Amino acid sequence: MRKIGLLMALMVLLSVVAANAEEVRIYTWSEYMDEEKMPADFEARTGIKVRLDIYENNEEMVAKLQAGGVSQYDIIVPSDYIMPVLINQNLIQPLDHSQIPNLGNLKPIFRNTTYDPGNKYSVAYQWGTVGLMYRKDKVSADAVKSWSVLFDKAKQPGAFWLIDSVREMMGIALVYQGKDFNSTNPVDLKAAADLLVATKRTKNCMGFKPGVGGKNDVVAGTAVAAIVYNGDAIQSVREEPDKLGFVIPKEGSEIWYDSMCIPAKAPNPAAAHKWINWILDPQVGAELSNYNQYATPNATAEAHITPEDLKNPGIYPTPEIMEKLYFTKDLGKQNRIMDEAWTRAKSH
C-alpha cells in the first residue's frame, strides 16, 4: 500500500510539473525550421517547451490574430509588407532590447528597416525571394528565363501551379506586363487580374497553391513547374540537382524579409524574448539557414553557413539578380484595390 501511495504521489507531482511547464507558442510558416530538432534544442537550453502552429500566407496570419490569436501566441513571423498593418492595428508589442543581447549580431541593413527603424517591434529572421521551380527533364533552361513559360499558352510545358499569395502573384503578373510590382493603378491591376484569369483557364494551369504545396508537386512530378519561395525550392534542388531547378525569370520578382514579433497580448513574452535571442545566436542562426536554405540576416552566423550555400545565387542573389527584385510595399488604403483585383483573379 505504501508503494502504491508513493506511486500516486509521484504521478500527482509529475502532473503538476507538467501543468506548470513553461511554454512558448510560435505561429510560423510551414517548413521554416527543423520542426523537431530546433524546438527540442531550445527546450534543452532553456527548459521552455515549444508549440508550433503553421500558416501559409501573411493574410491568414493577420486574420487569426484579429480573431483572438493575439492572446494565443508568443511569436509570429510576418513579412516586411504586412508589418505596418500589425503596428497600426496594435497587434504586436514593442520589444525589450535588454532581453535580446544578441540583437547586435544583425547586419546593419536589418537593424534600421523603413517599416521598423531601430527594431522597435521586429527582429529579422530570414530573407529570400520568390521564383520558378521546375523539372529539368520537362522544361528547358531557356524557357524558364521568362515568366512567359507560364503566362503564354503556347509556351506552357505542362502542368503548373501559380502561388496562392496575393502580393507575390499580383506583383509577378504586373512586372511581366512591364508595370510597377507595387502598382495600384486600377488599369494595371485589371490587366494583371485578366492575365491570371486567362492563365488559370488554360489546360496546364492547376490553379493557385501555397509555395510549399507547389514545391511538393514539382518534386513528386505531378507538376512540371510552380511559383515558390526560394528556400522551399533550394532544399529540394540540393537533393536532386539533375532533375530540379530554380530561377528568377528576367522580368523580375519579389525580395522579402521575414521578422520575429511578439503579439500584443502574448501569454509568455519573457519566453518569446528568449526565443528571439536564441535564434540570433551565431550557430543557431546558421543552423536555421543551413536547414531551410534561406539567407541569414545575421552577420555573425555567416561564418557557420555551408560555404556552397553562400555561393548559391538561388539563396544569395548576384548583383545582377538583385537589380530585378522588388520589395513589396504596404499599400495602406490602396490595399482594397489590390484585394479586389485578387478576388477577381481567383473567383473567375
Q: Which residues are annotated as a binding site for spermidine?
A: 31, 81
The set of cell numbers assigned to 183 is: 502598382
Alpha carbon distance 101, 96 (integer Å): 10
38 alpha carbon, distance to own chain's centre? 17
Q: Per-residue DSSP letters for 88-146?
A: HTT-B----GGG-GGGGGB-GGGSB-SSSBTTSS-EEEEEEEEEEEEETTTS-TTGGGS
Q: Which residues are annotated as a binding site?
A: 31, 81
Helix, strand or coil, per DSSP, at residue 313: coil
Element (H, E) at 191: helix 186-200
The set of cell numbers assigned to 162 is: 501559380
Alpha carbon distance 170, 268 (integer Å): 37
Alpha carbon distance 294, 19 (integer Å): 36
The set of cell numbers assigned to 217 is: 508537386
List the one residue out of 138, 142, 113, 147 whose CA is nearest residue 127: 113
The set of cell numbers assigned to 346 is: 481567383
Neighbouring residues of 320: CB distance < 8 A, sequence distance ≥ 6: none
